[in-house]
Amino acid sequence: QVQLVESGGGLVQAGGSLRLSCVVSGRTFSNYAMGWFRQAPGKEREFVAALSGTGFIKYYEDFADSVKGRFTISRDNAKNTLYLQMSSLNPEDTAVYYCAAKPRLTRVLSSSGEYDFWGQGTQVTVSS
């Protein structure tokens, strides 16, 4: 079974930045569709960002409207790692952040139900 481990969360002041990492097991990480989701207390899990597996030309990415222009998603296939660079953080970004994977898919996925594997999450807290 594919395993995912998130790290990089913590406490940051409003306006600050954090980079989350998700290390993924497996030999074919490059063709995994990957995503970031978050869940705040009392709220449903929310889509944040997604990145497709390798296509012939390029990766495809997608972002929630609430994070566009502030967050970037990237991957390092040599390290089997997915990243979420978060900038201009605000208290509304406070949540547990999860990474997710679906092997052998080159398109982006924005629905949590479409992913096969999930990490345990990492807490991000943004103080005002």
pLDDT for the residue 30: 87
pLDDT for the residue 79: 94
Going by C-alpha positions, the residue among 80, 83, 17 that lies closest to residue 48 is 83
pLDDT for the residue 57: 63
Burial of 5 (0-12, 13-18, 19+ CB in 10 A): middle
Burial of 27 (0-12, 13-18, 19+ CB in 10 A): exposed
> Residue 123 forms beta bridges with which residues?
96
Confidence of residue 56 (pLDDT cuts 50, 70, 90): low
Going by C-alpha positions, the residue among 36, 104, 46 that lies closest to residue 74 is 36
Let me know: does 84 contact 23? Beta carbons within 8 Å.
Answer: no
Confidence of residue 126 (pLDDT cuts 50, 70, 90): very high
